[in-house]
Amino acid sequence: MRNISDIRRHGVGEPTFLIVGVNHRTGAQLLRERLQGDASDLVKLLGRCLESGITQAIAVATCDRCEVWCVTPDAAVAQATLTALLAEAGGLSEAEIAPRLHALTEDAALRYAFAVAASLESQIVGEPQVLGQVKELQQLAQHAGMTGPELDRILEAAYQAAKRVRSETGIAGQSVSMAACAVSVLRRMHGDVSGLGGLLIGDGDLAEMIFEQVSATGMKRWTMVHPQERRARAWAERNHAHWRPFGELPQALAASDLTVSALDLGAEAVSVDIVKAALKARKRRPILLIDSGVPGDMDARIAGLDDAFLYTLDDLERLAMAGRQHRASEAEEAWRIVDQSVASFRRQVTEQAAAPVIADLRRHFEQHRAEVLAQPGIDAAEATRRLLNRLLHHPSLALKAAAPAKDLEGALRRLFGLNDKEDKK
């Protein structure tokens, strides 16, 4: 990713696409959690952006990232503004948060946004939720009056790139199959799942996928626990489920047949002793535990307990697909599509920007043609000679003034489609 200082090379005035924030690579989970909030928090952040002069912005807050994507005429000023606003949102000083932020602009920002929509910038590459999340966040920004034609055009191009990745590669199917694999294991353990209960520890992307897959098979009793209780409450309200304080994790675990962790705290959240106590309370009824944290949230020794069946992301991948080599191959093709989409979007923007000038040029030429043809008593040869003189007069003066410019001759030949050999004849 480009350094924030690189942004300062860009000029002021032209609309610039800018991304500032943290993601799962650049910011620790605890920092991301301090910045993330519910819809009202995001609307508040967007409102602060508007008050600060940023009129087109979307707050992209998911489990993997908390960023602001915006279009601005001055990237350097907007970057400083967003640093201050993100510090405010996280209850930190600017000095504390600035070194942890990443910032991207222009083509680097486009490539990143397209890759996020295509799920290439997720901890679980290929997971399908992120595209829907970005669309929902765009709608939130629209309701807050914070979108505009430039930003909407970028987001629509990102969605089209994601659609191509999903239809032309197998990268999306691999992540979905990991959730389907969890369903298969659960059914082998318990048969009918309709009377079972599930527990989510955190709201990470794979946990959401497993929740959707298992719910679709008939399991409706779900509980959420999260270190941030407001996130647990918000998730429970959104999914018509229950939530419990994080301190009640041992009781929630004992009441659940399937437990999925998705905290990514970098520390153990589910110990072997907690699972032992849960199994005792359950009278040895088995528990399926899926640790989707990176690094893991669960003590690896749980796998050695009778009636506790622990699966990690690697376990699910080995069961579900042909392995990491296939995924890397699919990702390589997906990145090629993203790069093609960025280049195509850039061409479209350039062509659209040139259209008014081309229209003015045609009107200018037509005006001169009409004036020359209206002059009395000249034949076709004289008319065309006069027309050429008129059309080339101002360009010739401008070109003489710009003669020292680098590769001027090459630019002219490209502009008018001149061939060196034909030109010398």
> Annotated active-site positions, please?
63
How far apart are alpha carbons 338 and 161 in whole angstroms? 6
Task: Give the alpha-carbon dihedral of 141, 82, 111, 55, to 10 degrees.
Answer: 40
Of the candidates 214, 217, 215, 233, the residue with the CA atom closest to the CA atom of residue 225: 233
Nearest to 128 by CA among 210, 232, 37: 210
Q: Which DSSP helix (H) or strand (E) runs through 152?
A: helix 149-168
Residue positions counted in the chain: 425
Give dist(CA 17, CA 158) in Å, integer: 13
Spatial contact of 89 and 45, defined as CB atoms under 8 Å apart: yes
| Contact in structure between 251 and 262 (CB atoms under 8 Å) | no
* Strand pairing class (242-243; 221-225): parallel
Give the sheet arrangement for strand 102-105, strand by strand. Answer: 56-62, 65-72, 16-23, 102-105
Other beta carbons within 10 angstroms of residue 94's beta carbon come to: 14
Helix axes 106-117, 149-168, angle to 10 degrees: 50
Contact at 8 Å (CB) between 330 and 169? yes
Question: CA 235, CA 214: separation in Å to the nearest integer?
Answer: 17
| 61, 137 Cβ separation under 8 angstroms | yes
**Token pair 């590459």: residue:** 125
Q: Which amino acid is at 48?
A: R
- How far is 199 from 242, CA to CA, in rounded Å? 9
Quick count: other Cβ atoms within 10 Å of Cβ 306? 8
Contact present, 29 and 90 (Cβ < 8 Å): no
- Cα–Cα distances (Å) from 65 to 24, 82, 372, in that order, read 6, 15, 63
Tally Cβ neighbours within 10 Å of residue 164: 17
